[in-house]
């Protein structure tokens, strides 16, 4: 992985950073790169309330905020910013205003690399809207001074339409940190871990490939 | 939250009648339902902090339960309710959870706006 001067990660939900990206984040931290994570919402609309139930609609955001802080600590993220938007509403925000918020963030953090979702290929409307706002913000920056933009995509049609990812990071050396970051989001991932425990113990090849490889598409600007 | 106790929920619904109350109502299949199963038609609705006043409110059914509020000019209802809580702020939280503990529906009432 190339050493970056400053990394900015922009995602809408606590735990978006954990699944496909936390190994990459942990590696940048190990390389001595400062990392800022801007998380737009607190995942207020999460549906896992536990079995047996451990929370409710109104308390979930408090739990997820604590989990997000813990995940950032585990990954060594020094600058965690919670932007105060509400889960599942990002696509309904004013697009220009949102792009300007992202531009202000980028100008403040001054990253050499930004990681966000690929607009249109990231399944959740918040993911697509967040990615779109970041793309619009970077487009406002003169071409010569733009940071690199790496996008996460996982829609069923993403490889078909975008081609294979051009960046594949093998994060095996920090896999345990990644698992700890995923586990930090306990309200969201406990059940998944219960289902996966046996496979993890047996180093199931499919699971290991999923955990150890993080893929990104470098965004190609048309503007 | 606890499994719905009809008597207790009904009493709480009654205590919110004939006054301004803030309403949270949502139904959801989750944002990934159609991604995980392309044949699944995902639908949901959400309203937070609607200010309503109802003259009559009822919880009915044998579980999962239904709750309906007869508001000034219309109705509010939810079905699939399984659990309830009167929280530390005196708000009535009603929710329906599937077998895995995933929230599918919520109907909540408060005398002050939800955060």
Is A25 within 8 Å of A17 (Cβ atoms)?
yes
**In angstroms, what CA-CA distances link A189 with A14, A129, A186?**
11, 24, 5
Is A6 within 8 Å of A36 (Cβ atoms)?
yes
Q: Identify the CA nearest to A208 among candidates A199, A217, A216.
A: A199
Report pLDDT for A70: 98
- Interchain contact A195–B (C-beta under 8 A): no
Report pLDDT for A10: 98
Q: Which residue of A has its CA nearest to B103?
A: A47
Chunked mean pLDDT (size 10), chain A, 223 residues:
96 96 98 98 94 93 98 98 97 98 98 98 97 98 97 96 97 96 94 83 86 96 90
Is A178 within 8 Å of A210 (Cβ atoms)?
no
The single residue listed with the structure tokens 């109705």 is: B75
User: Vertex A133, ends A143 and B25: CA angle to 5°?
Assistant: 175
Report pLDDT for A44: 96
Is A104 within 8 Å of A81 (Cβ atoms)?
no
Which of A51, A61, A124 lies nearest to residue B101, judging by beta carbons? A51
Report pLDDT for A210: 87
Q: Which of residues 54-113 of B touch A (CB under 8 A)?
A: 83, 85, 87, 91, 93, 95, 97, 99-104, 106, 108
Report pLDDT for B31: 81
Is A174 within 8 Å of A1 (Cβ atoms)?
no
Which of B1, B114, B115 lies nearest to residue A53, judging by beta carbons? B1
CB contact under 8 A, B101 and A125: no
pLDDT in tens, chain B (115 residues): 999 999 999 999 999 999 999 999 999 988 888 888 888 898 999 999 999 999 999 999 999 999 999 999 999 999 999 999 999 999 999 999 999 899 999 999 999 999 9
Report pLDDT for B39: 87
Interface probe for A, chosen from B27, B100, B108 (most Cβ of A below 10 Å), is B100
Omega prior to A70 cis, within 30 of 0: no
The DSSP-derived string for A75-135 is HT-SEEEE----TT-GGGS-HHHHHHHHHHHHHHH--SEEEEE-TTSSSSHHHHHHHHHHH
Report pLDDT for A5: 98
CB contact under 8 A, B100 and A57: no
**Termini Cα distance of chain A:** 27
The single residue listed with the structure tokens 């060594």 is: A76
Beta bridge partners of B105: B27, B96
| Nearest CA distance, B70 vs chain A (angstrom) | 24
**CA B3 to CA A55: how far, in whole Å?**
13
- Interchain contact B45–A (C-beta under 8 A): no
- Taking the model in full, what pTM does it have? 0.93
- In chain A, what are the domains? 7-218 (3.40.50.10320)
Report pLDDT for A193: 84
B2-110 is classed in which CATH architecture?
A: Distorted Sandwich (2.70)
Q: Can you read off the two tokens belonging to residue A145? A: 């001074």
- Interchain contact A84–B (C-beta under 8 A): no
């Amino acid at each position: 992985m190339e050493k970056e001067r400053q990394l900015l990660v922009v995602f809408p939900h606590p735990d978006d950073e954990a699944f496909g990206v936390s190994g990459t984040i942990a590696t940048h931290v190990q390389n001595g790169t400062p990392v800022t994570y801007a998380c737009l919402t607190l995942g207020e609309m999460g549906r896992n309330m536990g079995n047996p139930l451990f929370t409710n609609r109104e308390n979930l955001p408090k739990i997820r905020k604590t989990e997000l802080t813990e995940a950032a600590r585990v990954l060594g993220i020094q600058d965690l910013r919670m932007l105060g938007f509400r889960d599942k509403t990002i696509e309904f925000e004013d697009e220009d205003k949102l792009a300007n918020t992202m531009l202000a963030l980028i100008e403040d953090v001054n990253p050499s690399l930004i990681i966000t979702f690929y607009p249109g290929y990231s399944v959740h409307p918040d993911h697509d809207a967040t990615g779109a706002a970041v793309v619009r913000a970077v487009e406002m920056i003169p071409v010569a001074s733009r940071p690199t933009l790496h996008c996460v995509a996982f829609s069923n049609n993403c490889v078909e339409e975008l081609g294979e990812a051009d960046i594949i990071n093998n994060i095996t050396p920090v896999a345990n940190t990644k698992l700890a970051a995923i586990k930090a989001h306990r309200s969201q991932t406990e059940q998944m871990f219960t289902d996966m425990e046996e496979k993890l113990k047996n180093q199931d090849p499919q699971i290991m490939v999923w955990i150890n490889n993080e893929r990104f598409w470098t965004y190609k600007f048309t503007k | 939250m606890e499994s719905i106790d009809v008597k207790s929920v009904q009493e709480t619904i009654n205590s919110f009648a004939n006054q301004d109350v803030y309403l949270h109502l949502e139904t959801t299949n989750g944002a990934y339902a159609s991604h995980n199963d392309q044949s699944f038609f995902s639908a949901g609705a959400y309203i937070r902090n609607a200010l309503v006043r109802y003259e009559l409110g009822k919880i009915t059914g044998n579980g999962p339960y239904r709750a309906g509020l007869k508001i000034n000019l219309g109705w509010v209802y939810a079905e699939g309710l399984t659990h309830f809580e009167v929280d530390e702020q005196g708000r009535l939280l009603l929710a329906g959870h599937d077998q895995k503990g995933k929230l599918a529906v919520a109907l909540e009432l408060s005398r002050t706006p939800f955060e």
